[in-house]
Amino acid sequence: MPALCRDCDHRDEAGFARCPACGSRRVVAHPELFALAVAHVDCDAFYASVEKRDRPELLTRPVIVGGGTRGVVSAACYVARTRGVRSAMPMFKALAACPDAVVIRPDMPKYVAAAHRVRALMEALTPLVQPLSIDEAVLDLSGTQALHRAPPAAVLTRFARAVEAEVGITVSIGLARNRLLAKLAAERDKPRGFAVLGAEAAEWLAPQPVTLLPGVGPALAKRLQAAGFSQLGQLAALDAREAARRFGEDGPALAARARGEDARRVTPEREAKSISAETTFDADLRALPDLEAPLWRMCEKLARRLREKDLAAAGIVLKLKTAGFELRTRNARLGRPTRLPETLFACAKPLLAKEATGTAFRLVGIGAQPLAPGAEADLPDLADPDAARRAAKWQAVEALRDRFGAAAVLSGRAVPRKPGRG
């Protein structure tokens, strides 16, 4: 069976359990190892790994990246995960599970800088790099063997070592014939892993729970299980007609994915489906005026993100989370695409008012969905002669903030009310 040493790139079609060149036992072996070319790369516990890189004294300590006791876990290192800490877990639960954890506030500029360095190393391998998030991407290395004088598997092991040496973090890699299987493979061997899924994929998938499939969340899993489908093999056995009859228009694609089929191509540009901003309060808020101040700040942040991505909001999504962690979302369409905070706020405020009836909320957020090209944002309108003035005002505010910092210009709407004031 073909094998590859992950530490020195020694490879042999006949295979080996221990590298004869360097003695390493970090060996990956698979019948299709040198034939597969689609890879999923996932940075291991990314935020926490960057923090440990910069603070070596934390290497063996449980580290949680998150905000305050009322926030949620943004990332947890693998030491903390062994204690039951997970991403998106409320911080108070994470600290109850791991009271000796070192908690670090997120430092997004630092994480973005590290992600850019990893991305640059990816793009040196192939032009077909599709980012999926700040810490993961899918690559297609088809046709690159002549360029690199090595099969994709060997190129990827070199890449993993380069990330460790140049960025100071580790990655896990999945190699397969398509995007779905590559992602599933990457999850099999974390952290610092390298796993392969080939012709055996359908057999391996069959006994797995339906929740293993990306996109099958709790609601869909419950619906599938109620219909008698708890394992992927049961879904895989459905033909397209029967899958459509049972699960609607998405049924055939669901059954195909359960078989490991995925026709999606790797495209260099990731199409954003939504952009959002949210904040968790230090204390629960109930009154509408108290909720409006943080909503305005999130509208400003969303407008800034839209500008940075050269996009506009054609609609908005208001997000609220109650003190009991119940999630509420409310949607509204905009008359014209915008990236002005005033317009976003004017659309979201009536939605907020309908919810602010005494319920205690711990979080508010706003998202832009659907998105529109930036060129369509805030175009002149004869019915709204002040539109150009508002756009110019916001551009001036952003120019000042870009030059002098975010605190250079503050809006009165962003200032929270003092307790007890009406």
Q: What is the pLDDT of residues 114-156, one digit of tens each?
A: 999 999 999 999 999 998 888 999 999 999 999 999 999 999 9
pLDDT on residue 371: 86
- Average of per-residue pLDDT across 267-295: 86
Query: Domain 203-258, what architecture?
Result: Orthogonal Bundle (1.10)
pLDDT on residue 419: 47
- What are 146-202's pLDDT values in tens digits? 999 999 999 999 999 999 999 999 999 999 999 999 999 999 989 999 999 999 999
pLDDT on residue 179: 96
Residue ranges of domains in the chain: 31-199, 203-258, 275-414
Query: What's the chain's average pLDDT?
Result: 89
The confidence band for 69, taking pLDDT boundaries of 50, 70 and 90, is low
Catalytic residue numbers, as ranges: 136
- Assess contact for 366 and 338: CB atoms under 8 A: no
pLDDT on residue 398: 63
pLDDT on residue 68: 67
List the structure tokens of 307. Answer: 């500008």
List the structure tokens of 104. Answer: 């670090």
pLDDT on residue 130: 92
Please list, in sequence order, all residues whose beta carbon lies within 8 angstroms of the beta carbon of residue 86, skipping any fewer than 6 positions away: 73, 76, 94
Instruction: Evaluate if residue 13 carries a pLDDT over 50.
Output: yes
Q: How far apart are CA 275 and CA 284, in angstroms?
A: 25
Residue range 31-199, CATH number: 3.30.70.270
pLDDT on residue 214: 87
The confidence band for 406, taking pLDDT boundaries of 50, 70 and 90, is low
- pLDDT above 90 as % of the chain: 69
The confidence band for 324, taking pLDDT boundaries of 50, 70 and 90, is confident
The confidence band for 411, taking pLDDT boundaries of 50, 70 and 90, is low
Nearest Cα to Cα of residue 249 among 240, 258, 257, 261: 240
- Average of per-residue pLDDT across 40-66: 96
pLDDT on residue 209: 95
- Average of per-residue pLDDT across 64-90: 88
In 167-239, alpha helices (H): 179-186, 201-205, 218-226, 232-236
Q: Residue 121's CB: how many other CB atoms inside 10 A?
A: 18
Mean pLDDT is lowest, of 259-268, 370-379, 380-389, for: 380-389
Instruction: Evaluate if residue 417 carries a pLDDT over 80.
Output: no
For the whole prediction, is pTM greater than 0.85? Answer: no
The confidence band for 270, taking pLDDT boundaries of 50, 70 and 90, is low
Residue range 275-414, CATH number: 3.30.1490.100
Q: Is the C-alpha dihedral spanning 66, 171, 108, 300 positive or negative?
A: negative
